[in-house]
Every structure is written in structure tokens, then in C-alpha cells.
Chain A
Amino acid sequence: MHGIKKSPWIIHYDASSCNGCDIETLACLTPLFDVERLGVVNMGNPKHADIFLVTGAVNPQSQAVIRNIYHQLPEPKVVVAVGICACSGGIFRDCYNVSGGVDSVIPVDVYVPGCAARPEAIIDGVVKALAVLEAKHREMKALANSLDQTLYLRADKSDAPEILALQKIAYQSEAELYGDDSLPPLQQTLADLLADFERTPERVAVLAHAPAAEDTHPDADQIVFLKAVVNGKIIGSVRGFAIGATAYIRRVIVHPYFRGRGIGRRLLREIENAFPDVQRFEAKTGHQSKRNLFQLTHTGYQVLRTEPFTPHINWVFLQKERAPAPATTKNVK
């Protein structure tokens, strides 16, 4: 449909800008540039907006606000970083209080460089963002229409970049839940994830409290990655590894737009099937992640114990015994 491209509503947030870019952004609304002729409206309300326009470098105070606004934008949404500070941190990037550009907090789609970015450049960025918005909309629609054709496959190293991108999007909601950016899934680098595809889970003893780490090493399998694919795009993933008779299930991630449609549940089932020899499954999640706890307890997991992870997060460990008669299990390719 055309509508989506002809009616971009913007929400503008100043992360820590010197106001140079803000003034230029607002200049776009003035009679000289008049972006409303393109249907652009500057909204004060994130729930009505399509484009999130951020100026300025990110500091600890603005991080939470950026994440909060980003979550309130309904899908499909696009993020535009305006000005060099929002793109990379600019001249402030080495400051003790600056964590970098906007992409250090949320995924950014369009970068508009400049100090300050000129109104022409900002309008150009918004027009570019429209193309991204339309592509996202088309993708979402196509994906939503063919969710019943989701494929659940083994992921390999070539999927790592896409899984990492998905992981960062999926864990945004957790980061907001706990007000903590330092969650390991959000900090993971591509190199680290690529390495995960090869290494046997060495630190498993620490993570899972399996008895005597050294003994378990010979038995430890490689980490198995599964992906849920629709139209060639990964919308969900899970990883797990087996040590002895126990499989440890980690990082069930589903794109926020496709949650509540059974993809996570199916991923859990598939990863369990991927370890036909184990008798017991163990999963963990944060104590405030009610959605995860709900899903796990409804698929047969029982709370085992809780343990402090950070001052604000407690791990909840859950376990499940394998059902006695494995009914027609469709093994993952």
C-alpha cells in the first residue's frame, strides 16, 4: 500500500545534543523547508510515530529514554540518527560519560552525518528512511502471511550475523525490564558468536553448575544452534548443548513482532528433539521475565532454584524430564 510511505510521522529525541542538530531538525518544519508537504508530522507521542529521529551522542541518562521511546513505537518503525554525534559519538566519543552513537543502544537504520546536519540532509535521511520503512512493512506483511510455513532448521556459521542482530533486537525488552544494558546477549560480539559455533561449552560448569567441570568435558557436545526461518529471514533462534544426560537450553529469541504466535514454543520443542539421548533439560531465565517463565512452565518446565546473577537480576533455573514415550518426533534437519 502507498499510505505507509506517504505519511511518515516522526518523534524527535535529543539524546545529549548541543541543540545544533535539533534546531536544524525543527527548521525542516518551517515554511522554508516545510516537510509537511511530504506528509511528515512531528509527533509528541511515540505511539503515533513511525520514524524515531535521534540527535546527539548517548550517555547513561539518555540510554533508558531512547530504549523506552523505541519500544513504544509500533512496528514497522525506523530509526534515524541525525548528526555525527548520534552516528558515532562524534567529538564526544571518548568522553567518560558517552557510550557512543545511538546504535550503541538501539538498531539504527539511517545515518545522517554532519555537524550540524543540514536540513536538506535531514530531509534526505527521512526520505531514505521511508524506503527502509516500506521495505520493513512489506517484509513484515509477507512474513506474517507465511508464518505457517516457518522452517525450523539447524543454523550454521553463515547465519551468525543475522542471529546476532536478532538477538540484540529480542533482548531489548529484557534490557528494559531490568534497566540493565550489560546483559551478556546484548554485549556479545560477532567474533564471540562465531566462536560459539565451534567451541564445546567450556564455561558450562560455571554457567550451569554441572558437577565437576573437568569430567564433563569429554562428553560435552558442540553448541547446537536452531533457527526459525520464514521467507529466508530468521525470526527466531535457540541454542543448546548437552553434557552427559542433561541438555542445557539457552537464549530462546523471537523477533518482537512475531511473539505470542507459538514460535518460541516450537523452538523449545525442536531443540529438545535435537538431543535425542538426554533425559533432562535445563533452562534459565531472569526472575522478572514473566513471559519466559510462563512459556517455560507451560511447556512442562519446573522451577529448580534461583540464584543471584547481578544485584538486580536473579537467575531462575528450570528443568524438565523427557516425556517417557517420545511421540512422532520430527527431527531437525
Chain B
Amino acid sequence: MSPWLRLIIFLVGAPLLGGLLAGWDRRLSARMQARRGPPLLQPFYDVLKLWQKENVVVRRSQNFYIFFFLLLVIFTGALFFAGSDLLLVIFALTLAAIFFVLAACKASSPYSFVGAQRELIQLMAYEPMVLLTAIGMYLVTRSFYVHDIAAHPTLLVLALPGIFLGFLYTLEIKFRKSPFDLSSSHHAHQELVRGLTTEFSGRALAMIEIAHWYETVFLLGWVYLFFAASPLLGVLVSLAVFGFVILVDNVFARLKWQTALRSAWVVALVLGFGNILVLSWLRHL
């Protein structure tokens, strides 16, 4: 498949798939709590509604940053699915997160400000592991390019089990699920009101939701990369990982930011760096 075709499929398909996954998330969570849960298409209804609501702002520029957040998340996913350099993808992902943080700071409400600071801490927590994942994939495939990694004949996860587990840990942070929903929780009644998204309403909030859909598909795409040698297995594992994230969300309570940061770095050091150490040791044997 040509990179351009993949790109177009991502741009059109990712919000649909991401929205469905978000709906599945809510439904599955409800079932885990012995409830019926909303219809599968609920996230689409929500975004449609938000799009038509009044957009209340503290400062107009805050929506400008949100627009760039969405744009950069799409850019990140587009780079990834077009088969570009993984390091560039990570860079774009970080930039997107920074725009989100800037937007929340711009709104100058104490809640969104604390949310923004916690988001920065989360960024700090998962960034080392994400970089180690890219390095691990490079060590196995000798390329940072996604299309080379995807074309690698063996299952990456066999050589990178530690990095895979470490990456799962980062996914929990990146999806902002319990125990790492410090900066903005999907559930009501938290101490920060809604953290990062407190001051956004109407279209800006809809754009944040859509950005999350793109982000979900992009991150699950990265999970798929570990199993790219066997496409069916890759898709199944990606969905299973998403289910696992939902399970963890429903099982755990929120961690303090100190614990979140420390544990994420310990995981990155032990599982990520350890895996790379063993890998290079085996090579030189």
C-alpha cells in the first residue's frame, strides 16, 4: 500500500475508529460496573452536540492553541501511518502535548493550571519510555523508519518483551486512565473539576475529543508495530491492549503524581533500559 493511501485512510478512518473505541470504552466500563452503558455511538453524539454549543472562553487565544493541538496530533498520526521516522513522530507528539498544556495555561483558571502542570509531569513520566521504545525498535530492525520496522520479518515483541511491557505502562499515562488520570479525568467529581479541559467548552472541547480519537488510533498503531510480522495477531493484541487499559482504569484508584512519576521512571529504567542492555549484550556475545 502506498504511503499516501495509508495517510488518507488514517485521516478519514482514525476519527471513526477512535470514536467507536471511545464508545466501546464507555460501554465496557459500564458493563464492568454492572450497568447497561450508553450506545456505542455515544462519543459521536457528544461531539456533535459540543460542536453546536456556545463556545465560552476566558481568552480567545486558548482555542487557537487547541486547534494546533488537534492539528499536531493528526500530523503525528499521519507521519506514523505514512511510515516516517519514529523520532520525528515522537517529537511531533510531544509538541502536540505542549500545545495542549499551553492552552490550559492560557485559560488562567487555577484548575486548568494545576491540570497543565500535572500534564507536564505526566509528559516527563512517559517520555523516557517512549524514546527507549523507539531505540529498542531501532536495535532490532536497524531503522527508525516505521515502514522498515513494520516490514521486519520477526515479531519485535520476542526481542523486546521488557520494552513492550514498559510501553503498556506509558499507554496508561498517555490515555489519561486511572491510576494516571491526574491531569484530567473522564469521570466527574475530581479535585481539579476537569483539570486540563476545565475551561474549554463547545467546539474547543469537541476538538479535544477528536484529537483523543486520533491519538488512540495512533498509539494502538504503535502497539501493532510490536506484532507487525503477523498482522492478524497485531490487530487482536492492539484491541486486547485497549481492553486491558479499560480494565485497569476500572480497577485502580488514582495515584499521587510523585508515585506516578517515580514508578514510570523505574519501569522505564528496569524494563526499557534493561531490555536494551540485555539485547546489546546478546549481540556482542
Taking Cβ atoms with an 8 Å cutoff, the residues of A that contact B are 1-4, 6-7, 9, 30-31, 34, 36-39, 41-45, 47-48, 50, 72, 74-76, 137, 141, 257
Contacts and interface: CB of A to CB of B under 8 A. Distances in A.
Secondary structure class of chain A's binding surface, majority of residues: mixed
B112 to A, nearest CB: 10
B207 interface: no
Contacts of A7: 42, 45-46, 48-49
Interface in B173-200: 188-190, 193-194, 197-200
Given A36-B38, A74-B55, A76-B53, A47 B45 contact: no
Given A3-B45, A44-B189, A45-B194, A34 B35 contact: yes
Contacts of A42: 188-189
A74 B53 contact: yes
Contacts of A4: 48-49, 52
B75 interface: no
Given A7-B48, A43-B194, 6 more contacts: A3-B46, A30-B35, A37-B38, A48-B197, A74-B201, A137-B52
Given A44-B193, A45-B198, A3 B48 contact: yes
Interface residues on B, range: 20 to 34
30 contacts: A1-B48, A1-B52, A2-B45, A2-B48, A3-B44, A3-B46, A3-B49, A3-B51, A3-B52, A6-B39, A7-B48, A34-B36, A36-B26, A36-B37, A36-B38, A37-B30, A37-B35, A37-B37, A37-B38, A37-B39, A38-B38, A44-B189, A45-B193, A47-B199, A47-B200, A48-B194, A48-B201, A48-B205, A74-B55, A75-B53
B205 to A, nearest CB: 7
A297 to B, nearest CB: 23
B57 to A, nearest CB: 10
Contacts of B197: 45, 48
Interface string B59-79: 000000000000000000000
A4 B44 CA distance: 11
B34 A31 contact: yes
B45 A39 contact: yes
